[in-house]
Amino acid sequence: MPVDEALARLLALADATPVIESESVVIAACEGRVLANNLVSTLDLPPWPNSAMDGYALDCADWTGEPLPVSQRIFAGQAPAPLVAGTCARIFTGAPVPAGANCVEMQENVQVQADGRIVFTELLQAGQNIRPQGQETTVGETVLTAGTRLGPIEQGLAASLGCATLEVVRRVKVAVLSTGDELVEPGQPLGPGQIYNSNRVLLCSWLTRLGCEVVDAGILPDDLPATRQRLTELGAVDLILSTGGVSVGEADFLGIALREEGELALWKLAIKPGKPLTCGYFRGVPVIGLPGNPASTLVTFALLARPYLLRRQGVQAVEALKFQVPAGFVWAKPGNRREYLRGRLEQGRAVIYKNQSSGVLRSAAWAEGLVEVLEDRTLSEGDWVGFIPLSEVLG
């Protein structure tokens, strides 16, 4: 199954089971959450015309070449009196422009006479250096739409409109299961044939960044009764996310348990790393099973599970940002699967880690992005390749 088709199917599944409940959250805690309703401005922003400069406010018709006296000083945070005709006002950045003034001249362009009167040395134009009322937004305007993911910028924007709280989609509850008899948690001694469980912490920490509520369901042994029991004990979650055990290998007990009590589709994705992916339901709860090799887990989570989870929360633009960069490497052997190499940008060109094995997570720690090599392609240096920044998909 081509990657694009797998993504389209997962998004259709997400659209069929959207998380619609919402909650009110203080803006400082909204990072990574998704806006549940349109944010409509109840203010004009700025609420009144204000000065963009430190300088002098006046009615430009009053300037006839005769120096003007200063009739008031207006700092940010003050409410000015109307401007006395034939005078100017000392004004500072962000201060309200007084009624009767229609321009601000910056202080660098004036001469202050010994008697304190002001000489303007340049041509004055109505509106100059004034930020008009409502230039950013006006009352009733939709500033952010439902489904927007909130980050520092959106939090700042909401604050500028005076919102103390925002209505956000409730957190999606995800149970993380690591399958495999060989897995041991860090901190425990490593026995023969055993490896440390790296997918668990990788996914739990990534899910937290995505605003999910994580239920860490631990390691699942390769054993059918234990698998059945663990699934049953999970309680109410929005998604069961597992790693490992999804190849057609003999230890696919998760697959068996799902078939018994739900539905299961096993997809063979045209993606490398990360060929096998399961998708199904257990007692009505959606299940996504990612391949167990750490680099495969990373790539399939980034390209498939992440957009799925964002879409469950109502985010529309879920596909990762990708831009084209010239390859700084040669790709001689065309593959029949789309490859996502762990790479970096060096002097504007994509270079790749020396070992691209799906078992090697270090490649991704070295990398800044996923370098996309399309199916059936060879590459010479300088040919264009897709580059998906990891900073983008990790956020």
Binding site for ligand AMP (CB under 6 A): 178, 180, 182-183, 195, 197-200, 243-247, 249, 291-294, 359
Regarding 276 and contact with Mg ion (CB under 5 A), the answer is no
Among ligand AMP, Mg ion, none, residue 182 binds (CB under 5-8 Å by kind): ligand AMP
Nearer to ligand AMP, 107 or 247 (CB): 247
Can you read off the two tokens belonging to residue 297?
């887990």
Can you read off the two tokens belonging to residue 382?
């300088």
Alpha-carbon distance of 395 to 388, in angstroms, equals 12
**Integer Rg of the chain from CA:** 30
Alpha-carbon distance of 297 to 289, in angstroms, equals 9
Span from 74-82, 173-181, 225-233, 272-280 in contact with Mg ion (CB under 5 A): 173-181
The CB density around residue 21, as the number of other CB atoms within 10 Å, is 8
Coil, helix or strand for 57? Answer: strand
Regarding 180 and contact with Mg ion (CB under 5 A), the answer is yes
Regarding 245 and contact with Mg ion (CB under 5 A), the answer is yes
**DSSP secondary structure string for all residues of 60-83:** GGG-SSS-B-EEEEE-TT--PPPP
Span from 70-78, 166-174, 195-203, 236-244 in contact with Mg ion (CB under 5 A): 236-244
Which single residue brings its beta carbon nearest to ligand AMP?
Answer: 292
Among Mg ion, ligand AMP, none, residue 199 binds (CB under 5-8 Å by kind): ligand AMP
Nearer to ligand AMP, 244 or 286 (CB): 244
Among ligand AMP, Mg ion, none, residue 246 binds (CB under 5-8 Å by kind): ligand AMP
Q: What's phi and psi for 77, nearest 5 deg?
A: 95, -5
CB of 309 to ligand AMP, least distance (A): 19
Regarding 255 and contact with Mg ion (CB under 5 A), the answer is no
DSSP state of 213: E
Regarding 244 and contact with Mg ion (CB under 5 A), the answer is yes
Cβ-based neighbours of 279, under 8 Å, separated by 6 or more:
9, 10, 13, 264, 265, 267, 287, 288, 289
